[in-house]
Structure 1
């Protein structure tokens, strides 16, 4: 998809092990379309979920409109991680077209540069990933799956989101409270914003303005990094924000508040929470549908996806998925949810698909 194509992608949350051996949940990338006019969010209906096994260790997915492909990341186990893959999935048949192994970083142990967070750059036909354990991000070719570059310096890299209009890839560094921007043509770092004590996780970008937003898990706030701003703006939200999405007009943010089991609806102009919606235990991932404006939320503990009318502050539909839904990607009116259920014939995690309509 070119930079002129209007699009919104929302990614939600996935689990990534900390270097110290604990666990933390990882959220995903989101975009506000560069030229979509303001519109009232509409309630949406959702068909029952269908699912198919993919691979073990699923984390995130990202849809390529240019290639009509769903890309997914997987990584299995704690260090040394020797099993990780970038997986190319047919969204219609929910089957794997190709699988690519990240580079080996330690031949003695077989450790690979494991991939976790993901987004696509259709303008340059590439895939960007976060390599959480290696404190880096990486770039791959969508056409061949070839590893093109590894970009270090993102401490406990969590999420990555591509702003095609401004040729920028943003990544969150949970380890040092940073948001790091890279040039998608040269792969060089172009900006770094750091908030002391913050733990940025979920990430979104408004492609109309080039403003990046990150959910700060540590500070119960949103970090706003606007072009030309001398310092980041901090906007309060709910308890334990782990994932973040934007409305179609970029004026509203939605945060999945893991500790509270809610979604906060945040007016970005006023800098305040205007609605709080209870969704279910283990609220982990939030995504917004670019067609209907509906908001979808993955409740990890409840093994459901809740569809919201954010204007009314209500849940309008709840759909059961596989156990431990971890991440949501919405494209062309369809929600794709990867889970960590391990319920496939060989213990694979599953891809769940839900059609969203007005």
Structure 2
């Protein structure tokens, strides 16, 4: 799964329960009587407003769709002092309405507050409306690109330098997940050399398997580690024949997302979204070790680990949180050294590290950007708009470039360590993850928009021509 945080680029969601003090305001004349101001309210208000298009870009014509309003309820949308609908929108017999809105070409990317008020009965709230930057394709000729259809449901990949093999995970659908495979791919031809289906989960009669999502390799012990996100655990396979070495029991790593193996210290680290901790496993015995608890220091915002990246040489593990933070962990002691704030990040989800400069690269889905900061002191060096839905980032030490997978924009933005965009490349539909091989090649896997998507389910190899 991609673990995106839902909806800022698609929805104006009105849920009064999310706004403990959703005060009902009347926008009528100030001279109105008190009785006119505070009339009948809607205690069970469930109205929702969503933008049909995704992503939303400056200059775009968008369709705003309302649903779950009371039939006949009159709705007004405001941005600042500007009313977006010339006359009140009236909910039809099913509680719905539509409105076409033309965004100005100079609309600024960001999350904009839109006030929605309803009458008969009265309700009001504020909803976020996200406009993404339009970052067009550029300098594609600077890269050699090879692409190959691979398999449905691609999630992540990891390269083995020892065996010159690429390992790719796939999983399709929501639980019960019946289709999932671990693939061994030739990095030269991008063809599948072998694959294995995960084992069925014992005690279930619905065909649900231990579907594989996150992946990393351990060349010291010739194993492949995968996360079984839907079953809150991990599994270990052999690199040569993909036979199962150990399937750990469910519940050891809540919603396990990414995995990074520290071969030198024989530990596997697993991020657990929704839990303020990182799970740790022994890479030899495969037994769980004590979890690493991470405090965000933020009120009512627990640390929410997403991606993680390991610098084995320095013994540092960097874990990005959806709260817009990065935790730095000493892998010798598994102690949290510090938690860095990442100003400008919103729903952060991807992280990469350049050991040469000591810089961190944080991809932010909610802000459509890449934030570059000094890992030593947390100083933000540059913020770069990369494209809609910046989901993941990887740094290639050979080309000395960062590659950002923009899931919403269907692009890969290539950025140098100082934050200058070198190129914007086609990434296929919904690019989900990128990995490097230490030879200057970057492997990008993408998902599909439906079964007949010609750009879906591909793997791409990118190489900078210099």
Same fold (TM over 0.5): yes
Give the Cα–Cα distance (whole angstroms) in 1 for the partners of residues 3 and 348 of structure 2.
Answer: 16
Give the Cα–Cα distance (whole angstroms) in 1 for the partners of residues 152 and 334 of structure 2.
Answer: 42
Shift of 1:66: 1.3
Partner of 1:150: 247
Partner of 1:103: 199
Question: Which secondary structure does the structure 1 equivalent of 2:409 belong to?
Answer: coil
What is the aligned-residue RMSD (CA, Å)? 2.5
Partner of 1:40: none
Distance 1:61 1:209, change over 3 A: same
Give the Cα–Cα distance (whole angstroms) in 1 for the partners of residues 244 and 276 of structure 2.
Answer: 27
Distance 1:64 1:229, change over 3 A: closer
Shift of 1:175: 2.9
Give the Cα–Cα distance (whole angstroms) in 2 for the partners of residues 81 and 141 of structure 1.
Answer: 23
Find 2:383's aligned residue among 276, 283, 288. 276
Shift of 1:346: 9.1
Shift of 1:129: 0.4
Compute the TM-score of the two structures, normalised by the length of structure 2. Answer: 0.65
Partner of 1:9: none
Give the Cα–Cα distance (whole angstroms) in 2 for the partners of residues 354 and 251 of structure 1.
Answer: 24
Shift of 1:260: 0.8
Shift of 1:334: 1.0
Find 1:168's aligned residue among 237, 260, 267. 267
Structure 2: gaps of 5 or more residues: 9-139, 296-301
Structure with the bigger RCO (C-alpha within 8 Å, sep 6+) is: 1
Compute the TM-score of the two structures, normalised by the length of structure 1. Answer: 0.84
Find 1:126's aligned residue among 223, 239, 243. 223
Tell me if the contact between 2:227 and 2:256 (Cα under 8 Å) persists in the aligned partners. yes
Matches within 5 A, 1:11-160: 15-16=2-3, 46-106=142-202, 108-152=205-249, 153-160=252-259
Give the Cα–Cα distance (whole angstroms) in 2 for the partners of residues 109 and 230 of structure 1.
Answer: 41
Give the Cα–Cα distance (whole angstroms) in 1 for the partners of residues 183 and 356 of structure 2.
Answer: 32
Partner of 2:327: 223
Matches within 5 A, 1:298-313: 298-311=405-418, 313=419
Tell me if the contact between 1:56 and 1:342 (Cα under 8 Å) persists in the aligned partners. no
Give the Cα–Cα distance (whole angstroms) in 2 for the partners of residues 282 and 229 of structure 1.
Answer: 31
Question: Which secondary structure does the structure 1 equivalent of 2:230 belong to?
Answer: helix
Tell me if the contact between 1:300 and 1:326 (Cα under 8 Å) persists in the aligned partners. yes
Tell me if the contact between 2:327 and 2:336 (Cα under 8 Å) persists in the aligned partners. no
Tell me if the contact between 1:45 and 1:356 (Cα under 8 Å) persists in the aligned partners. no
Tell me if the contact between 1:56 and 1:74 (Cα under 8 Å) persists in the aligned partners. yes
- Which range moves more in the overlay, 123-132 or 204-213? 204-213
Give the Cα–Cα distance (whole angstroms) in 2 for the partners of residues 271 and 91 of structure 1.
Answer: 36
**Which is strand-richer, 1 or 2?**
1
Distance 1:92 1:319, change over 3 A: same
The total of aligned residue pairs comes to 322
Structure 1: gaps of 5 or more residues: 1-13, 25-43
